[in-house]
Amino acid sequence: MFADKLKHVIEPNVSYRYVTGVPDFQKVIRFDERDLLTNTNEVEVSLTNRFYGKREQSGVVRELLTVELWQRRYLDPNFGGALVPGARNVVLSTIGLTPFAFADTPRSYSPVVSVVLVQPYRNYTVEWRNDYDPLRGKLVASGVTGDAVVRNFALSVGHYAVRSDPVLTPPSNQLRGMVRYGSVNKRGWNMGMNAVYDYRIGILQYANTQVTYNTDCCGFSVEWRRFALGTTRNENQFRLALSLANIGSFGNLKKQEKMF
Who has greater pLDDT, 216 or 33?
Answer: 216
- Range of weakest confidence among 9-13, 35-39, 243-247: 243-247
Rounded to whole angstroms, how far apart are CA atoms 211 and 230?
A: 27
- ∠ CA 70-72-74, nearest 5°, is 170
196-203 contacts at long range (C-beta below 8 A, 24 or more positions apart): 198/172, 198/173, 198/174, 199/173, 199/174, 199/175, 200/171, 200/172, 200/173, 203/228
Q: Are strands 188-198 and 5-19 parallel, antiparallel or unpaired?
A: unpaired
pLDDT at position 249 is 86
- Round the average pLDDT of the chain to a whole number and report it: 92
pLDDT at position 136 is 92
- Distance, CA of 255 to chain centre: 19
pLDDT band at 205 (very low <50, low <70, confident <90, very high): very high
Who has greater pLDDT, 159 or 259?
Answer: 159
pLDDT surpassing 70 at residue 60: yes
Q: For the whole model, what pTM was predicted?
A: 0.83
What is the average pLDDT across 215-234? 89
pLDDT band at 229 (very low <50, low <70, confident <90, very high): confident
pLDDT surpassing 90 at residue 28: no
pLDDT at position 185 is 83
Counting residues of the chain whose pLDDT is more than 90, the rounded percentage is: 70
pLDDT surpassing 90 at residue 88: yes
pLDDT band at 55 (very low <50, low <70, confident <90, very high): confident
Four-CA torsion 33, 35, 39, 44, nearest 10 degrees: 0
Over residues 121-173, the pLDDT tens digits come to: 889 999 999 999 999 999 999 999 999 999 899 999 999 999 999 999 888 89
pLDDT at position 1 is 67
